[in-house]
Structure 1
Amino acid sequence: MTCDALDEAWLLRHPLPAIEHGADKNGRGRVLVVGGAEFVPGALRLTGEAALRAGAGKLQLATVQSSALSLGVLVPEAAMIALPADKNGEIAPEAAEMLVTRMANCDTLVLGPGMSTSVSTQAFIENMLARLDFPVCLILDAAALVALRKLDQSRLHGKNVILTPHHGEMAALSGLSIEAVEADPASVAIEMAARWNAVILLKGGRSHLASPEGECLAYTGGCVGLGTGGSGDVLAGLVGGLAARGASPLTAAAWGVWIHGPAGTILAKKVGQIGFLARELLPLIPSIIDEQVATTSTR
C-alpha cells in the first residue's frame, strides 16, 4: 500500500485556521488533558504545554490528586483538576463523573497520556467515553488506545476522533502482531481508520496518517532521537492544540507530525542525534509553526 507524501504542497492545500488579530484566549480554543498517574506524574506537563505552544488559548489538566498540586506549580498557565486514584496510583473509574462539565466546556479532549493499561484504566476510559458529549475533538493516546479494543466501535462513529498509536499500541488495538503492523503500516492505518471512523496517526520511523475516507499520508522526516520517553506525549498535545484552534482532525494530525519532526531535527543538530529530552522540543514549537505558516502562505 502506498501513501501520498506529507509535504509542504499538502500543507499548502490544508492550511491551519487563521487566528484573527485581537482574538482572545477563548477564541484560540480550550484543551482538557486527562491522564497521568503516580508512577509518571510529569507526563501531562509535556502534553499540556505542547497544546499551549501550538496556540491553544486555555488549558486544563486533570490527574491524580497526589500529583495535581506539583503539576499545577510546574504549569502555572493551566487550571488543575485533582482526581481520586485507585490503589495502584491510576485514575479511579469514578473520576469520570467529576469531568462531565469540564468535557462539555472544552474544544479538544486529550485522553490517555501517562496512564497505564489496567482493569481500572479500562473502566475509567469506558466511563469517560460514555459521558462525553461531542462535537468535542477527541484525541486518544497511550493506555486509552488499548482500552478501545473492548468497546463498541460504533460509539465513535460520526465524531471528530484522532488515535495516536505507536506500533505496539496499534498491535494491541487491532489484534495483530507487531510484526504484521510493521510489515504494512499503511494498510493497517487505513483499515483501522475505517473501522473506528477516526484519523489514525501511526507513529514510527516512517509515520502514517489515514482518514476514515481512505486518504493516506506518509511522513519520513524527524530523527531517531524522537524515539524517547515523553516524545509521544508532546505530539499528542501538539495535535490537540492545533485541533482546538479549529483544524480538522486530519489537518491537526498532519501539521502536528510536520512540526514535531523538525523540532527533533533541530535538537539533533544542536544537542546530538540521541540524548535530547522531550521537554526540549516544547520551546521550538511556536517558531516552527510561524515559519511553516509563512512558507505555505507565500506560495
Structure 2
Amino acid sequence: MTGEATALDSTWIAANPLPVHGAGTTKNSRGRVTVVGGSRLVPGALRLTGEAALRVGGGKVQMATVASAALGLGLMVPEAASVALPEDADGEIGAGAVECLERSLKTCDALVIGPGIGSADAAAQLLRAVLEQACEDTILVLDAMAIGCARDLKGALARFRDRLIFTPHHGEMALLTGRDETAIAENSAAIACETAADYGAVMVLKGSDTHIAAPDGALLHYGGGGSGLATGGSGDVLAGAIAGLLSRGAAPLVAAGWGVWLHGQSGRRVATTRGPIGFLARELPAEFPRLLPQ
C-alpha cells in the first residue's frame, strides 16, 4: 500500500541538504560523471546532460557518443571530455563501445545511459555490455531509451540495487512495467512505489506532477515546474542534474529530489523571463547555480 507522499518543497529541501564542499575542494573531490548516449540523429543530446551535471557542481564530466558527433559535442561543452564511440550504419552507438569506456566505467561516481539514443536495440546492446563491467561503487541513472530495454535486463540490473535511478515519463514507464499508460497516469504514486521496490531503485516518474519513489517506500511529490518543461531535451537536463548531485556525494533519493526541484524551479524562473511556453531545455542549467545553496 502506498504511503502518504511528502511534498518536495522548500521545507524538504532545507531538511535534506546537499554535501558541502568547502576550502580545499578540487574537481576530483566533487566527483566524476560519465554520460553515454546520443546518435547521428540527435548529436547534441549529451550537451544538455553534461552541462546540467556541471551546473549542479559535478567536478568532472565525460560525454561518450557516436564518433560523428563527438568532436562537435566536445567543442560545445569545452569544460567536459568527449569520448568517440563506434557507430553503426544507422548512426547509433555500435558494438565495441564498452571497450572504449572501460576506464571511465571503473572510475566514475555516476553513470548516465540513454539520452539521445534512438534505437531500442542499440540501447539494449549498450546497457547489457555495461552491466557486465565492474562498476562496484558507481550509481547508475537510466534515462530515455535505456529505460525501455531495462525490463529484459532486470536480472543483470540486480547488482545495482540501491545504486539505481530511473527517470521515466509515462510512456517509458509503460515499457518498463508492461502497464497501460492510462493506468500509470491514474495510479502514478502507487506504480512508482511498486516499481521502485521491485527494482531496488529510486523511480522518478515524470509528468505534469512528478512522483519520486524509493525502494524503502519513501515517496516524494513535486507539483510541477510548468507546461514549458514539456519540451525536447528537458528530460536530458534532469538526468544530468541528478547525476551531478550523485557525483558530489548525495544519496540517490536526495539527488533525485534536488534534481527534480532544481529542474522545476528553473522552469518557473525561465518562464518569467522567456514566457511560459517556448523556452528551450538548454536554458535551464544556467539557473541551477542561482538555486543551489552557497
TM-score range, shorter chain: over 0.9
Q: How far is 1:99 from its partner?
A: 1.1
Q: TM-score, normalised by structure 2?
A: 0.96
Q: In the alignment, is residue 191 of structure 1 matched against residue 187 of structure 2?
A: no
Q: In the alignment, is residue 219 of structure 1 matched against residue 222 of structure 2?
A: yes
Superposed CA deviations along residues 16-70 of structure 1, whole A, max 9, x for unmatched, are 0111223010011111111000000000000000000000111111000000001
Counterpart of 1:25? 27
Counterpart of 1:133? 135
Counterpart of 1:86? 88
Counterpart of 2:283? 280
SS at match of 1:28: coil
Superposed CA deviations along residues 221-241 of structure 1, whole A, max 9, x for unmatched, are 300000000010001001110
Q: How far is 1:134 from its partner?
A: 2.1
Q: How far is 1:132 from its partner?
A: 4.3
Superposed CA deviations along residues 173-231 of structure 1, whole A, max 9, x for unmatched, are 01001001001100010001001000001111000000000111100030000000001
Q: CA RMSD in A?
A: 1.3
Decide whether the 8 Å contact of 1:5 with 1:217 is kept in 2: yes
Q: Which amino acid aligns with 2:81?
A: A
Q: In the alignment, is residue 171 of structure 1 matched against residue 174 of structure 2?
A: yes
Superposed CA deviations along residues 227-275 of structure 1, whole A, max 9, x for unmatched, are 0000100010011101100000000000011111111111111111100
Q: TM-score, normalised by structure 1?
A: 0.94
Matches within 5 A, 1:148-167: 148-153=150-155, 155-167=158-170
**5+ long unaligned stretches in structure 1:** 295-299
Counterpart of 1:261? 264
The 10-residue stretch of structure 1 (268-277 or 5-14) with the greater mean CA deviation from structure 2: 5-14
The 10-residue stretch of structure 1 (8-17 or 82-91) with the greater mean CA deviation from structure 2: 8-17
Matches within 5 A, 1:192-207: 192-207=195-210
Distance 1:180 1:51, change over 3 A: same
Q: How far is 1:152 from its partner?
A: 2.9
Decide whether the 8 Å contact of 2:63 with 2:80 is kept in 1: yes
SS at match of 2:204: strand
Counterpart of 2:104? 102
Partners of 1:191 and 1:71 lie apart in 2 by: 38
Partners of 1:180 and 1:53 lie apart in 2 by: 36
SS at match of 1:152: helix
1:118 is aligned, of 117, 120, 135, to 120
Partners of 2:160 and 2:173 lie apart in 1 by: 19
Decide whether the 8 Å contact of 1:52 with 1:59 is kept in 2: yes
SS at match of 1:60: strand
Q: How far is 1:157 from its partner?
A: 4.8
Partners of 2:117 and 2:164 lie apart in 1 by: 19
Matches within 5 A, 1:36-47: 36-47=38-49
How many pairs does the alignment contain? 291
Partners of 2:13 and 2:269 lie apart in 1 by: 20
Partners of 2:134 and 2:238 lie apart in 1 by: 23
Partners of 1:132 and 1:192 lie apart in 2 by: 25
The 10-residue stretch of structure 1 (68-77 or 3-12) with the greater mean CA deviation from structure 2: 3-12
Decide whether the 8 Å contact of 1:134 with 1:159 is kept in 2: no
SS at match of 2:34: strand
Q: Give the % identical residues.
A: 49
Decide whether the 8 Å contact of 2:120 with 2:148 is kept in 1: no
Q: How far is 1:147 from its partner?
A: 1.2
Counterpart of 2:56? 54
Superposed CA deviations along residues 51-108 of structure 1, whole A, max 9, x for unmatched, are 0000011111100000000111111111111001111111013211221211111111
Partners of 2:119 and 2:220 lie apart in 1 by: 29
**5+ long unaligned stretches in structure 2:** none
